[in-house]
Chain A
C-alpha cells in the first residue's frame, strides 16, 4: 500500500493478487496498526478522536456501497435507508432485551441484508437509471415505514436512546474507548472487502460490472451474484448504521435520509470506484469536508459574513463545495483520489528517472 517497488517483477496472476506483495508490506501494516491502535488514541485530544471515529463509520458504509456500485456496477441511491434498518434493529434489540453489541451488531447487519435482498429484486429485471430510481423509492419507503411504525421507531419523529456498548462489564463511554470499538470493526470490514475483491465472488462481481450479458454467457449466474452484491452491500450498511447508533447513543431516522445516501455515493466517486484504498480516502475526505469548511468560515469567513448569517452560509458553502468537488472529480479525474495516489506511487517507483 505504502511501499515503493523498484520495478515490475510479477510473473503470475497469483503474485499480482497477493495482499502482501513484498515483505515490507507486512512491516507497513504493523506500522499502521501501531499508529492507529497505539499512538493516535494516546496522543490525540477527544475532538480529533471523535473526527476519526466518524471517518471509521463512514469507511464501513462506503465500503459496502463500493461493493455494489464500484465492483458490481449496480446503482443504489438508498444506502442510508439500509443503515437505518441496521441502526433501528440494534437499537430495539439493545433497549428491549438488553442484548450486548456482539449480538445486536451482526443482527443489524443481517436485518439490513434481508431488506437489501428484497430491494435488490428489481435489479433482476431493470438496471441503470431504472435501478437508481427503484432504490430511491426504497429510500423513501423504508424511511416512511420506520418513521410511522411506533413499534420500530417509538413514534413519529421520535428517537431511541441506546446504551453504550459494553464487553464483559467494561462500558465503552469515552471517545477513546469508542475509537477502539469502531476501529476494530472498520479493520474487519477493510480486510473483508480486500479479500472479497480477489475471491471468485469478487471476480464474478467485476465481470458483471464490465458486461453483464457477456458474464452470463461465460457461465456466471448473474441474478445470484447481483442479489449477493445487494445483500453484502446492505450488510455493510447495516453494520455501519449500528456503529453510528452506538457512537451517537441514539437512533433517529433523520440521521439516515436521502442526503446521507448521496454523501456515500460522493465518497466512492471521489475516492475511486472499485478500490478499497480509494474508498478510505473518499470516506475520510467527505467526512472532513464539513469540518474544514466550518473551521475555515469561523476563522476567515467571519470577516466577510455577518455573524447571524454565518451558520446559513456555512451550510450553503458546504453544498456548493460538495457538488463542485463531485463534478470536478467526475470531469477531471474519474478514477478519483485512488488514481492520484497511484500516480504519485508510479512516479516514485522509478524515481529519480522519468520512466
Chain B
C-alpha cells in the first residue's frame, strides 16, 4: 500500500475509534437534554469525578477492579440523585442561562473537590487488557480504543432501544417534550428527572473509566466535556444516531487536523477544528444532521 494512503488510513481508523469514545461521553449529555431539557456543561466533570472515585478505590484501598467499579457505580447513582434534588430541580422553568451557569458551577466545584479529596496526582486505572497495538491486515489498532468504541456502540444501541421501545424511555421523551402535558397524563415528572440524571451518571462512569485507562485520571479528564459540544451539535441534540455520527466526524476531523494541519501551522489545531466545523453546521443547519427542527410559539 502507498505510504501516504497508509497514513491517511491509520488517521481515519483511529479517528473513528476515538470519535466513538467521544460519543460515549456525549451520550450522557444527550440523555439529559432529551429527557429534562437541561443543558449539562458538567458532563466532562462527571466523567472525571467517576474516574477519580474508581481510581481512588483502586489505589488507596487496593480493591479488586470489579468492586471498585461497583463502588463507583453506587457513588455516581447516589451522587447524581442528590444533585438533581438539590441543584437541578430548582432550575426547572428558569432561563437557559441559569441552567447553564448552575452546571458550570457544579463543574467548577468538582474540579476543586476531586483533587482535594483524592489528591491531585495522576492516577492510573488499569483495565485487564493489553497495551500492545493489534495489527490486523491494514488496520493498526489500540486495544483500549477498540474496547471504548465497542462499549460505546453497545451502550448507544441499548439507549436507542430504551428511548424508542421501553415504557420508561417513551415516558422520558414525553417529559422532555412538555413537562406540563406529561404531568397531566399521569407521568411522575420528577422521578424521570432523577432517573435521567442517574443514567447520565452511569454513562459518565463508563466514559470516565475508559478514558481514564487511555489517558490517566486527573483534572485534565474534565477537558473531555469540551469535546461534547461539537459532537452533539453536529449530530443533533436529541438524536442517538446523531451522537454516533457526530462523534465519528469529530474524531476523524481531529485526527486529520493533527496529521496534516499541525505540521504546517505548528500544533493545536486538534482542539479547535471541530469547533470550526460546528460553527459551519450551526449556520447552515442549526439543529444538526439528525436533530428535529424547533418550532417556536409565543
Are A122 and B272 touching (Cβ within 8 A)?
no
Residues of B within 8 A of A313 (CB): 116
A288 located at the interface, meaning its Cβ lies under 8 Å from any Cβ of chain B in the complex: no
A277 located at the interface, meaning its Cβ lies under 8 Å from any Cβ of chain B in the complex: no
Partner-binding segment picked from A234-242, A320-328, A339-347 = A320-328
A137 located at the interface, meaning its Cβ lies under 8 Å from any Cβ of chain B in the complex: yes
Residues of A within 8 A of B100 (CB): 75, 77, 129, 132
A12 located at the interface, meaning its Cβ lies under 8 Å from any Cβ of chain B in the complex: no
Residues of A within 8 A of B275 (CB): 136-137, 140-141
A39 located at the interface, meaning its Cβ lies under 8 Å from any Cβ of chain B in the complex: no
Are A213 and B296 touching (Cβ within 8 A)?
yes
CA distance A353 to B275 in the complex (A): 58
CA distance A265 to B98 in the complex (A): 10
Task: Select from chain B the residue with minimum beta-carbon distance to A73.
Answer: B95
CA distance A297 to B276 in the complex (A): 42
* Min CB gap B253→A, angstroms: 14
Are B101 and A265 touching (Cβ within 8 A)?
yes
Are A265 and B229 touching (Cβ within 8 A)?
no
With known contacts A141-B276, A214-B298, A317-B112, A330–B101 Cβ distance under 8 A: yes
In A92-126, the 8 Å CB interface with B consists of 121-122, 125-126
Q: Mark B267-284, 1 if CB is under 8 A from A, else 0.
A: 111011001101100110
Q: Mark A297-336, 1 if CB is under 8 A from B, else 0.
A: 0000000000000001101111110111111001100100
Interface size on A, residues (CB 8 A): 47
B147 located at the interface, meaning its Cβ lies under 8 Å from any Cβ of chain A in the complex: no
A-B contacts, 16 of them at CB < 8 A, read A77-B100, A125-B282, A130-B286, A137-B275, A148-B266, A148-B268, A213-B298, A312-B115, A316-B111, A316-B112, A322-B112, A325-B105, A326-B105, A327-B106, A330-B102, A334-B98
Residues of B within 8 A of A201 (CB): none
Report the 5 A-B pairs with minimum CB-CB distance, sorted nearest first: A319-B112, A323-B108, A326-B105, A323-B109, A320-B112
CA distance A69 to B268 in the complex (A): 30
Are A137 and B91 touching (Cβ within 8 A)?
no
Residues of A within 8 A of B39 (CB): 129, 132
A63 located at the interface, meaning its Cβ lies under 8 Å from any Cβ of chain B in the complex: no
CA distance A132 to B96 in the complex (A): 10
CA distance A122 to B279 in the complex (A): 8
* Min CB gap A175→B, angstroms: 30
Chief secondary structure at chain A's binding surface: helix
Chief secondary structure at chain B's binding surface: helix
B181 located at the interface, meaning its Cβ lies under 8 Å from any Cβ of chain A in the complex: no
Q: Mark A269-308, 1 if CB is under 8 A from B, else 0.
A: 1000100000000000000000000000000000000000
Are B90 and A331 touching (Cβ within 8 A)?
yes
Are A141 and B272 touching (Cβ within 8 A)?
yes
Are B87 and A211 touching (Cβ within 8 A)?
no
With known contacts A129-B39, A130-B282, A319-B111, A327–B271 Cβ distance under 8 A: no
Residues of B within 8 A of A214 (CB): 298
Are B97 and A75 touching (Cβ within 8 A)?
yes
B258 located at the interface, meaning its Cβ lies under 8 Å from any Cβ of chain A in the complex: no
CA distance A213 to B295 in the complex (A): 12
A192 located at the interface, meaning its Cβ lies under 8 Å from any Cβ of chain B in the complex: no
Are A323 and B271 touching (Cβ within 8 A)?
no
Task: Select from chain A the residue with minimum beta-carbon distance to B39.
Answer: A129
Are B109 and A128 touching (Cβ within 8 A)?
no
Are A140 and B272 touching (Cβ within 8 A)?
yes
Residues of A within 8 A of B110 (CB): 323
Q: Mark B68-96, 1 if CB is under 8 A from A, else 0.
A: 00000000000000000011001100111
A133 located at the interface, meaning its Cβ lies under 8 Å from any Cβ of chain B in the complex: yes
B233 located at the interface, meaning its Cβ lies under 8 Å from any Cβ of chain A in the complex: yes
* Min CB gap B296→A, angstroms: 6
B151 located at the interface, meaning its Cβ lies under 8 Å from any Cβ of chain A in the complex: no
With known contacts A148-B268, A266-B101, A326–B108 Cβ distance under 8 A: yes
Are B296 and A265 touching (Cβ within 8 A)?
no
Are B94 and A326 touching (Cβ within 8 A)?
no
* Min CB gap B90→A, angstroms: 5
Residues of B within 8 A of A204 (CB): none
Residues of A within 8 A of B116 (CB): 313, 316-317, 320
B158 located at the interface, meaning its Cβ lies under 8 Å from any Cβ of chain A in the complex: no
A37 located at the interface, meaning its Cβ lies under 8 Å from any Cβ of chain B in the complex: no
Residues of B within 8 A of A315 (CB): 112
Task: Select from chain A the residue with minimum beta-carbon distance to B111.
Answer: A319
* Min CB gap B89→A, angstroms: 9
Task: Select from chain B the residue with minimum beta-carbon distance to A327.
Answer: B105
Are B278 and A133 touching (Cβ within 8 A)?
yes
Task: Select from chain A the residue with minimum beta-carbon distance to B274.
Answer: A137
A262 located at the interface, meaning its Cβ lies under 8 Å from any Cβ of chain B in the complex: yes
